[in-house]
């Protein structure tokens, strides 16, 4: 504009175009409303971007509402809530990284194999491995750097909190099942003299706590930082047993199952509440209009 002074003021009175994220959100919302429209059997369904005919009743959610936020007025074709939740879990399970799932399985399987040779190491190995793989895996569930569809997910009508809950359920559930199967196998083969319940309690609380901490840091900060902090927190209770000048409270909290589960629930709830309401510190304003 400085090279063409005669064009100065040519945009006066012309509004700024909407942001790309706003346009994507509007198109996806209109498409969702069109797919969920229930008209007469012989009536044409509205096309994408076309509003359904006015019938005196509300045809869809108001502007700004998200499907999955608890709205009572939803299109009838979506089915029962449990069916919708199951479909969302299935879709999110397909999007999980195969490398993350395979790594979790191989690490736990390797620990179980070693514990079958050295029975006295079963409790130590699972207590170290399960929290670590769970924390590392959950850290990458909410990351603009690792999720190629991060911006698209932020623009969909479905609440980002619902999507995050579905992802955490799938990944943490997978790690939980693998660890339970390994613990059951060790118990059956006599490698766990404290029994299945005692062996599970060794890794359950720390795994939940480390996963919740990684989730909160990935939502508020970034995935790499969440992994680094999780690794430090994981190592402190181990160092406390070696006689190094580390406060013994870390080891006491780590071994207290009610405390670890309570802290995990608090951190996870905070992460879910912050999802979609704040931007990660590394990418401020990435999905919002300036």
| Residues paired with residue 158 on neighbouring β-strands, in sequence order | 67
Q: Is 117 in the same domain as 207?
A: yes
How many whole angstroms separate alpha carbon 85 and alpha carbon 66? 15
How many whole angstroms separate alpha carbon 36 and alpha carbon 34? 5
Indicate the residue among 78, 104, 123 that finishes a domain.
Answer: 78
With tokens 């955490």, the residue in question is: 168
How many whole angstroms separate alpha carbon 281 and alpha carbon 268? 19
Domains identified in the chain, total number = 2
Q: Is 91 in the same domain as 217?
A: yes
Let me know if 261 is exposed, middle or buried by CB neighbors in 10 A (0-12, 13-18, 19+): middle
3-state SS class at 201: helix
Q: 142-194, pLDDT tens digit by residue?
A: 766 666 666 777 677 778 888 888 899 999 999 999 999 999 999 999 888 88
- pTM (2 d.p.): 0.66
- Domain limits for position 155: 82-274
Q: 57-99, pLDDT tens digit by residue?
A: 444 444 444 444 444 444 444 457 888 888 888 888 888 889 9
Residue 202 lies in a domain: yes
Residue 136 lies in a domain: yes
Q: Is 45 in the same domain as 120?
A: no
Q: Is 72 in the same domain as 101?
A: no
Give the end-to-end CA distance of the chain in Å, rounded to a whole number. Answer: 21
3-state SS class at 158: strand
How many whole angstroms separate alpha carbon 133 and alpha carbon 211? 9
Q: Is the dihedral of CA 25, 26, 30, 36 positive or negative?
A: positive
Q: Which long-range contacts (CB under 8 A, 24 or more apart) does 34-39 make?
A: 35/75, 35/77, 36/60, 36/74, 36/75, 36/76, 36/77, 36/78, 37/75, 38/75, 38/76, 38/77
Q: Mean pLDDT: which of 89-93, 116-120, 212-216, 283-287 is highest?
A: 212-216
């Amino acid at each position: 504009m400085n090279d063409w002074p005669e064009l100065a003021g040519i945009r006066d009175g012309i509004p700024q175009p909407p942001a790309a994220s706003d346009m994507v959100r509007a198109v996806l919302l209109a498409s969702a409303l069109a797919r969920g429209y229930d008209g007469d059997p012989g009536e044409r369904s509205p096309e994408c971007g076309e509003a359904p005919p006015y019938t005196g009743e509300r045809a869809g959610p108001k502007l700004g509402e998200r499907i999955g936020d608890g709205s009572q007025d939803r299109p009838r074709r979506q089915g029962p809530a449990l069916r919708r939740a199951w479909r969302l879990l299935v879709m999110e399970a397909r999007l999980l990284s195969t490398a993350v799932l395979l790594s979790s399985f191989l690490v736990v399987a390797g620990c179980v194999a070693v514990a079958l040779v050295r029975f006295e190491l079963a409790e130590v190995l699972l207590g170290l491995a399960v929290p670590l793989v769970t924390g590392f895996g959950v850290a990458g569930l909410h990351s603009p750097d690792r999720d190629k569809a991060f911006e698209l997910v932020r623009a969909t009508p479905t609440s980002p909190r619902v999507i995050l809950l579905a992802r955490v359920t799938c990944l943490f559930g997978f790690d939980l099942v693998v660890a339970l199967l390994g613990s059951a196998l060790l118990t059956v083969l006599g490698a766990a003299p404290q029994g299945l319940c005692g062996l599970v309690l060794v890794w359950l609380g720390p795994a939940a706590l480390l996963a919740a901490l990684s989730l909160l840091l990935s939502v508020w900060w970034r995935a790499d930082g969440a992994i680094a902090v999780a690794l430090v927190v994981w190592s402190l209770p181990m160092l406390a047993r070696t006689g190094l000048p580390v406060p013994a409270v870390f080891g006491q909290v780590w071994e207290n199952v009610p405390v670890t589960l309570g802290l995990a629930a608090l951190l996870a709830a905070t992460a879910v509440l912050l999802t979609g309401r704040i931007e990660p510190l590394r990418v401020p304003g990435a999905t919002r209009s300036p």
